[in-house]
Amino acid sequence: MKQVISISLGSSKRNHAVEVEMAGELCRVERIGTDGDMAKMVEMISRLDGKVDAFGLGGMDLYVYAGQTRYILRDAKNVVRAAKLSPIVDGSGLKNTLERKVIEYLLEQTEILNENTKVLMMSGADRFGMAQALDAAGCRLTLGDLVFTVGIPVPLRSLQALEKVARLLAPFICQLPLSMLYPTGKKQEENKPKASGLFAEADVIAGDFHFIRRYMPENMKNKTIITNTTTSDDVALLKERGVATLITTTPELNGRSFGTNVMEALLVALSGKDRELDSGEYEALLDAVNFVPRITNLNEV
């Protein structure tokens, strides 16, 4: 049996484990949260290194992208060093492959997106592949990288603007403690609305669910959410706020959509290559397992 474990900086309340058969292999997939304790992440990865087929790095990114440039976050780099035998991935490989396919799928199979759709991406650098796909589809993008990540109330209205800002600020921002850039531990359970006007003007809110959950306003009536890693409690909360449609980019496994880091680790384990894969290898595996997004009309749940 293939064994995949995601060690997350997030809340242990979201822990989950399933056994699934995929591409003819029986796989055990488990997510373990460390409640914001980075030292505990390092200890667990060191202890399980070599005993699992692949690790997912949850609750933090190792890489963020803008254009052709990849930036490495200092805190995450220190954590992944603990894995010396088992490969460890942060989900960025799938964000640049699977999530592009999800936007193409929505364009071909649904009427959710068109050239007039206003999309608020919580962070374009976190999901640059999705941002590029939405831009190519003609959607009107607003990128909240400065607003939600570093607290500067300046929304970016194009990928070109994001690239310029990233070239200027990313080398410095990547050196900051992760807790200053992303909700970790108990912060993931808090809702502190911010920039409600940006949510109000958007038809679609896309990106990391912890960013969305932390900053969304009370009124989310008729909005569409494109994200992943949602639990049944998250779905109930979104329905309560009036969200019309929830789209998760990763498939449901026993009632739960796992994060891209988990699914990327699962693909690495299935490949048997003991390393991070390149985009062509991910594309081939995605075709083999036939991942499709989950689309839920919350008015009918």
Q: What are 89-130's pLDDT values in tens digits?
A: 999 888 889 999 999 999 999 999 998 999 999 999 999 999
The whole-angstrom separation of Cα 128 and Cα 188 is: 22
Looking at residue 206, what is its pLDDT?
97
Confidence of residue 187 (pLDDT cuts 50, 70, 90): confident
Confidence of residue 59 (pLDDT cuts 50, 70, 90): confident
Phi, psi of 225 (to 5 degrees): -115, 130
Confidence of residue 164 (pLDDT cuts 50, 70, 90): very high
Q: Is the pLDDT of residue 38 over 80?
A: yes
Q: Is the pLDDT of residue 67 over 80?
A: no
Domains of the chain: 2-91+257-289 (no CATH), 96-252 (3.40.50)
Average pLDDT, whole number, for the chain? 92
Q: Is the pLDDT of residue 231 over 80?
A: yes
End-to-end CA gap in the chain: 35
- Mean pLDDT (whole number) for 137-162: 95
Strands (DSSP E) found in 130-251: 140-143, 204-206, 224-227, 245-248
How many percent of the chain have pLDDT more than 70? 100
Q: Is the pLDDT of residue 254 over 80?
A: no
This prediction's pTM: 0.89
Report the DSSP pairing between strands 294-297 and 256-257.
unpaired
- Mean pLDDT (whole number) for 158-164: 95
Q: Is the pLDDT of residue 1 over 90?
A: yes
Q: Is the pLDDT of residue 207 over 90?
A: yes
Scan for tokens 């909240």, then name that residue.
Answer: 144
Provide the phi-psi class of 20: left if phi over 0, else alpha when psi is between -120 and 50, else beta: beta
Torsion of CA 39, 43, 45, 50, to 10 degrees: 160
